[in-house]
């Protein structure tokens, strides 16, 4: 399994011949190395409905005939736009041909902003993602604050790699994220959701230095083999 990071909260997983994208915010993302027009994906996993996570989902999904897996209300909203969407919800898991997806709690908001209509569309509850394949488990926390049930996620799952937001203001800051890393007991932790906007500027190495487990700062395009 190959896992790569592409700025903000964009993660790519290559497993069993399947290309999976998590939260493909590409257009407008100054931190990414990807180009929306030529990004390929067989599956897109979404944590919640904010524009900087849904990103280019509709265009990528339609061009690649990709399956989109998302919380129910967000999946329904995207389905109205002609996307092949599989709805899930928090606490539920589903075994797909490419691996198992389980949605976890995340404490945040979830709504898509239609700028042209000056309208905010409610897209259900936000989630984190536990993805398992090839005997490995990846946890993408999505956007969240610190909450004590992260301990339960760590107790019930052997997490090989975790992506945690550190940007502060909208999500956990570095100190809270370091506590989250301790609670989930992941073997390896990577910071995400920072530096894309001025209000979430952070020093990712300073965060890694706070960790009691292995941590890495990944630049856009960097990859790991699990």
| Domains defined along the chain, listed by start | 2-213 (3.60.15.10)
Q: Sheet with 223-225: list strands edge to edge.
A: 84-88, 67-71, 43-45, 18-22, 11-15, 2-5, 223-225
Q: By C-alpha distance, which of 191, 193, 194, 200 is closest to 218?
A: 191
Mean pLDDT, residues 160-167: 98
Angle at 129 between CA 22 and CA 205, to 5 degrees: 70
194-218 pLDDT, tens digit per residue, is 999 999 999 999 999 999 999 999 9
Q: What are phi and psi of 44, to 5 degrees?
A: -125, 125
Using the 8-state DSSP alphabet, how is residue 109 labeled? -
As a residue count, the chain comes to 226
Q: Which are the contacts of 81, defined by CB distance < 8 A and separation ≥ 6?
A: 58
Mean pLDDT, residues 155-168: 98
Residue for token digits 């989630």?
Answer: 127
State pTM to two decimals: 0.98
């Amino acid at each position: 399994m190959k896992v790569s990071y592409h700025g903000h909260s964009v993660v790519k997983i290559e497993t069993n011949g399947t290309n999976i994208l998590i939260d493909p915010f590409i257009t407008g993302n100054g931190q990414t190395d990807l180009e929306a027009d030529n990004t390929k994906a067989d599956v897109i996993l979404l944590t919640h409905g904010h524009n900087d996570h849904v990103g280019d989902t509709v265009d990528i999904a339609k061009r690649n005939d990709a399956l989109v897996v998302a919380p129910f209300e967000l999946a329904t909203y995207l389905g109205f736009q002609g996307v092949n969407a599989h709805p899930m919800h928090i606490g539920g898991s589903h075994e797909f041909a490419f691996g198992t997806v389980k949605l976890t709690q995340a404490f945040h908001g979830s709504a898509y902003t239609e700028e042209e209509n000056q309208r905010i569309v409610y897209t259900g509850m936000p989630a984190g993602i536990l993805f398992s394949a090839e005997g490995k488990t990846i946890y993408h926390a999505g956007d969240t604050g610190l909450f004590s049930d992260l301990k339960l996620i760590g107790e019930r799952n052997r997490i090989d790699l975790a992506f945690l937001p550190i940007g502060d203001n909208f999500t956990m800051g570095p100190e809270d994220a370091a506590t989250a890393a301790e609670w989930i007991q992941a073997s390896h932790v990577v910071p995400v959701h920072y530096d894309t906007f001025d209000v979430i500027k952070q020093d990712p190495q300073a965060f890694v230095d706070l960790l009691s487990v292995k941590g890495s700062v990944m630049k856009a395009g960097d990859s790991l083999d699990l």
